[in-house]
Each structure stands twice: as C-alpha cells, then as structure tokens.
Amino acid sequence: MPYNLFKLQNKELRRTLSDSPSFYLARDIKRIGGNEMNKTMFTRLTGALFSYGRCYAVYNSRDSVMKWNGMGEIKTVNNLIEICRYNSNIKTVDSAILMGESYEAALTTVMESDKSRRYEFRFDSIYNHIYFVPLNDYGIRQLKIMLLPDWNERLSDLLFGDAYVRPEERIFEYDAYIDNKYIFSFLDGDIARLIRFKEAAESDESKIYEIVCYPHQLEILRFYMGDNYFYKTISIDKVENSLSLYYA
C-alpha cells in the first residue's frame, strides 16, 4: 500500500530503502523534494520498481506501439540514478520492465525504435535490459519470479548449471555452450538482449544457435527470429517449482 512505502527524498544520502520489492508511481517520483520536476522527464514512465538492489524503470505500452522520446528517457534514467543514490546502495539503472498486451506489440516497438537516426536514443541503448511482461496470467507469474532475490542468476543456474557462461566471458550475447550449440535463454523476456543475440547470430551463420523459452513465447520467437535456430521449451510450472514458487 502507498502509505507503507518509504518516502523517497533528494536532499541527503540516507540509503534506507528496503531490499523488499516496492513500486512508486511516476507521478509520485516527480514530486520528490516537494517540487514537481520538469514534465519532459518521465515522458513515458509508469513508475519505478525497487527490488533487492536493483531499480527497474517501468513502462506500459498496453496494446499499442510505444513511441520513445530518446532524450526524455535519458533524463528519466539520470534522475532515477540520483534517486537511487540518495535513498539506497543501488549504483546504476540499466533495466526496464515493458508491460504490454502482446509480444507482437513489444517487438513492433523494438523495430520502430530501430529506425532512430541516433543509436544512443534507441530504447535498447538507453536500457541494457528490457524485460517484456505480458498483461496476462503469464506476466503475473513472470513478475513473481523477477521479485525473488538474485532471480536471474537462479534462472541461469537452473537451466545451465556449470555450463553457464558469465557475461564478462562472452564475446556476444548467449548463456551457455553445450553440444556445439550457443544457447540463449529468453525465459526472462529480455527483448534488448534478444536484439543483440539476433544481430550477433546473423553476423556469423556458421555457428549453431538454440533458444530456450516458454511454450507461450515460441510462436512470436519463430516469427521474429526465423527458422535458422533450434528451439527448446520449458514449462513455467517447472521453473516455479524449481524456484520454490507454487500457485493454485
């Protein structure tokens, strides 16, 4: 509930924001410090989610293609970093959650953003990670996974174990190298990483690539990525059970 939220401020370094997940609406963030911030900031922002040492900028495209204001979103990120600096130990903001009614709308947003004349204004340049969360039951379940401590590391360990390749050891975006295949996980719905993975794969077709996904993601991945990949599905029930999440 809003009255249970820690009051964010921008006057001194208190760093008292709890690790427990908390969500602040954009309208409340704009009023931090008593004065409403410039309306060119938070142009598309719905709010900010703080959870276990990370801050996610949250957007909601609903059922339409989101038109991005590159400079406005850069200002948004810079202001969120300031808020994190004053209220927590979070050092940077490099992740966004993009909600929407369909993967089709999200990918159309990706392709529209790709038309930007300045690379630094592309939304996948502003945010290194953009997790698409569908506005349905699967999205609710995905968010519950994302609210776990170290959720992405736990997902990688679940899928790949010792075969997992850490980001600093990679030469392009993938997660594991098993049986002569470069394997990429899309269980987190990170469309920014998906773009980079596709760009790398298309630049070197001599390699063998595999994508791990949920069954409900398969159709849109085949449409966007094409047929030059192996696809492997895993049920979200299995992931939840392995991470000790149970639903009725």
Integer CA distances (angstroms), 219 to 5, 224, 232, 234, in order: 39, 9, 12, 14
Please list the pLDDT of the chain residue by residue as tens digits (248 residues). 555 788 888 888 888 888 889 999 998 888 887 665 555 555 688 999 999 999 999 999 888 777 776 778 888 899 999 999 999 999 999 999 999 998 888 877 766 655 556 667 777 788 999 999 999 999 999 999 999 999 999 999 999 999 999 988 999 999 999 999 999 999 999 999 999 999 999 999 999 999 999 999 999 999 999 999 999 999 999 999 999 865 54
Q: Where are the domains of the chain?
A: 2-135, 151-242
Cα separation, 39 vs 16, whole angstroms: 27
Handedness of CA 1, 40, 77, 143 (dihedral sign): positive
Nearest to 22 by CA among 61, 53, 59, 43: 53
- How high is the pLDDT of residue 159? 94
- DSSP string computed for 93-148: --EEEEEES-HHHHHHHHHHHTT-SSGGGSHHHH-SEEEEEESSHHHHHHHHHHTS
- How high is the pLDDT of residue 66? 75
- Burial grade of 244 (CB within 10 A; 0-12, 13-18, 19 or more): exposed
Q: Encoding tokens for residue 104?
A: 């089709």
Nearest to 97 by CA among 42, 141, 148, 55: 55
Give me the count of residues in the chain.
248
Cα separation, 68 vs 96, whole angstroms: 13
Cα separation, 220 vs 213, whole angstroms: 11
Encode burial over 50-86: b for 16+ CB neighbours within 10 A, e otherwise.
Answer: bbeebbbbbbbbeeebbebebebbebbbebbbebbeb
